[in-house]
Every structure is written in structure tokens, then in C-alpha cells.
Structure 1
């Protein structure tokens, strides 16, 4: 489905939230909705999202050094062309027009030597880097060895509305901030984790809504696709980094990037608004 406006999408989301959670809680959940984009391979009838793509060379301003971690060059996972996404993001739009998304993924076939290499800690923020560029000045830079290189594949960006993740015990911590109106449950787990009842009641209907009306998290012959820009990420695990206000930049899990699984790239709220990408962290699911 193609939404005419974010307001129209939010109205439908509010109906769903109130239906499953009641007026008091459902209205609060609907207010958490954020605009995002489902990222899909470009096929007939779809338009590429500007310069946006998975893999390929980086698009960097002249003189920008290639990012490294412990002397090993990072791999380019995606380029995100924010300027090409239009007005759908509203106030959720970051200040830079072109963003290069890097992650630590060296390739043995390109000369990476495992023996003597530092132990890989994917929680180390140095494993990822977000580097902005000016679309009018950016030039292509090929990934130096032993960084992995993936053939470029343009993607299209479909406007969607998102809610915080509600996947069982891995729900987004922001759900614990909702006023549940003194509602209690017999389960001790429900009392200690207030977001659980909402997850139970709305989690499955919300995923069904996303697949049915937005094509989010599922397309073509792919049973689950997390590829998404902005909005709320869908979480399979719990991450302590999300206990403070944050913004989601992009989730990448497309094709053969990395060793499987997928990666969320997020920033603290203020850093996102200021374009301070040095504070970006990567949250890894199933690598």
C-alpha cells in the first residue's frame, strides 16, 4: 500500500492500537509512530532511491580518509541518499544528504589474516562508522583490501509508518515508559516488565499489519527482510544501548553482507539531530 501522507498512515495505526490495547494505552502507542522506509531491490516499476544502494564503492568527499579499526579498513555496507527520500521523514530527517554506512567485515579472500588479528568485539563502537558526504562533491572510492567488497545493488525506498519493536522479551525499552493506567497482571514478569502485555496483545497484529498493508519485513520470495531506513527498528534481541532515547538510521541484512544476520545502526537522539555520527553504534542480530 502507498500512503498518501504520514497523517493518513498514523490514523490507521491508531485504529489498530486502540482495537488491541484500548483507548488509554492504544492512543499512547499510536503517538510513538515514526516515519521510515522499507528498502527493496529495484525491479521493474520501482525507482531507485537516488544514489542509495547496498554495497559498491563508497561516495566520499575528496580528502576523506577511509575508516579503519585497529588498522583494518572497514567495509562499506550501504550508501543512503537522504535527499532523495523527499519530505516523508519530516522532523525525523538527519541534517546530511548522503551517508556512507561502514562496518568491520574483513575478507580472508582479500588478504585478511586471522592469526594474530585482534579478537573481534562487535559491541565495540569502532566496528562501525557513518560518514556523511555532499552529493555534489562526493567521488567514488573502492574498498581497500582486506575490506570486503560487495557488488553495488540499488534499492528503492517505500514510505512506511513504524512502531517500537514488540517481539516478546526483546521489545524496545521505550514501551516501559507508557502509562498503562495501573493495569496489573498476575505474572511477576508482567509486573517487572510493563511492556510485555502490550507486546502480547499488539505484537502479532502489528507484524501482520506491516506485511499486509505496508509490505514491510517481507517481499517477493523473502520470508523476512529487516532492511529499513529510519523509523523504529525491529529487534530480535535486547540491547542496553537503547535504554536512552535514540534514533535508528538504517538496518541492513540484505543478501551476503557480512556472515549472516543483520545490523542496526543507531545514534543517541541529540547526536542524530546534530549530525554527530561519531556516536553511532551497530547492534548486531545473529552474526
Structure 2
């Protein structure tokens, strides 16, 4: 326990160029303290994404993972989301300390839906969308409001970016967004759904990690589901096939799903250009071209 070392790849992540040095400096000690507090024994090499360190641990013969991330509102929201779904389609939360930024989670496989063939991934992502769509709490952000707020900024952003695409695309997107903002529904929705964040489980085949709990329309992140695997869909027919697989598994009416793909693709296209991204705006352009045809 005393020899725990934070991976250099985590310490040198670009995420920390914007701050977080103090938290990183105390991270190894935080792991040791939390293991003592929750009677955990480290059980393997740590892993990480851009923001969180995950340490495999055991307690009384059962395997878990200890997840550590800088404390903040996002941590409390993730804890609330995991408690709400309580293992239904999501990783199960065993214990948490929001102020410390620490969670104890059930242990899942390292295999994600990014590691399986794209058609299979699309089916399973649709199943997950449907699985999560239980009645949502009233107090969480809703997809209709998110759309309405974003629509209010799109025309100015399009102008500021030098009118990067045909204005008719923007006009159509705003019409679609108006429909979507008025008919959001009451389903619980993961507002950050994509293949990399769905891991192979034991008690359920696939489980979401790091969900963002929203209320509204289960099809909210359908565009992201597609654009994050779009490079494996080289032809328009491939994109349409994968779309059909997702909406069928998710229980989404295809015309409604098409609206969400178009709206979110244009939304992310503009955001990506503003953020200086180069690859994702191209993917969003492809999606728009396919579904406007």
C-alpha cells in the first residue's frame, strides 16, 4: 500500500495543463487514506481516462474499483445519477464521498463497446438507451430546455465563425430544434452516451460508466452514438444501416431519431469549430449530408 504510485501518463495528461496540480500532488496519499478508510486492498495496476484515476481493489474477497477525480459539482452529479439508476444499465455505486471526489464502484471488464464491431455496438447502445429510459426525477436538467438554450446561440455562433455552412442547414436545424424543445418527454436520459463509456458487465451484458442524468427524450444523444463510430461507416448506406439498428433497439421512431441526429450534429459541428476541433466537425458534416438527403 505504501508504494502506490500514480501513473506518469495520468500526471502528464493535457487535462492538468489548466490546473489541478495540488490535487495531483496529494493523489497517492488520498488513495492510501481511502483504502484504509474503506478497508480496501489494491489489486492491480491503476488505469485512467483524462480526468479520473481508477484503482482496482478488493474487500472481503470481492473486487471493486476506487475512482478518484478532483472534487466539484460534476462529482456530486455523477454520484446522484448512479444512485438514481442504482445499477439499472449503469455501473453500481457501492460507496461515495463527494467532497473528496471518491467513489467505490463495482468492477467491470476493461472491454468497451468501442472494442466490438460497429453493428453490434449500435444495437447494444440502443438497448442501453431503452434500459435507462425510466421515469426521471423532475429536478434534473431536461433535454427540451437544453435544446431551446442552445438554439438561442446558434445563429450568432454561425455568423461569428464566418458562416461555415449553408444557411439553409441552420434554418432547418432551428425548425427541428423548435419541435424537439416542445416535445421532450419524461424519460431518464444519459446526456453523454457513446461506445467508449459502456463497459462489459457481469450482472448485465453492458453497463454505462460516467452517465449524465437528464430528463426528456431518450434519443437526445443519438447523434453522438453515431459520430463517435462514424469512421467505421464509410458509405452513406452504412450510416443509415447503423442508424436503423440503434433506433430499432432503442424504441425510437425513425423520423424522430433523424431529427435528433440532424439537430445534435449541427449543434456539435458549430461547437467543434468554435473549440478548434478538426475531425469531429467533418464527421458532423457527413451526418448532416446523409440525413438531409
Provide the TM-score with structure 1 as the length reference: 0.25
Provide the TM-score with structure 2 as the length reference: 0.25
Higher relative contact order (CA 8 A, sep 6+): 1
Which has a greater percent of strand? 1
